[in-house]
Amino acid sequence: MENKRKICMIVNGEMIPMPEKTPQDSIESACVERVGGVYFTTASELEKYIKKSRNEKYLRKQKMRVCRENCGLLIDEAATLLGISKTYLVKIENGEKDPTLELALKIAKFYKTTVDDLFSVDS
């Protein structure tokens, strides 16, 4: 039995195997659109990426929430003081959006920490 590798993409958080005869350029553009330029050749590789991504988002959310709560702020209060919308700050905390470097520095300074401590998942 031949062990074939499948190309998968993410659509709305679900892994979708691509047809075997899909042209390479279609595969690359689908992958670039769905997972930010990270290519996968097997479903297990994609599953590992999804698990890692979810873990990173969870850790960021926990770190940012703890920093905000240590300052005694609700999310809308923190957003106002940072000069950004509550929606945008929620998306940053949830890992749905990455702040610009300038904003990441501003947030870290605001919470009296470093960008690495706030946004790194290794610490």
**Cβ atoms of residues 36 and 50 within 8 Å:** no
Q: What is the pLDDT of residues 10-33, one digit of tens each?
A: 666 677 776 666 566 565 555 544
Domains of the chain from N-terminus onward: 8-41 (no CATH), 55-119 (1.10.260.40)
Predicted TM-score (pTM) of this structure: 0.57
pLDDT value at position 26? 60
What is the residue-averaged pLDDT of the chain?
A: 76
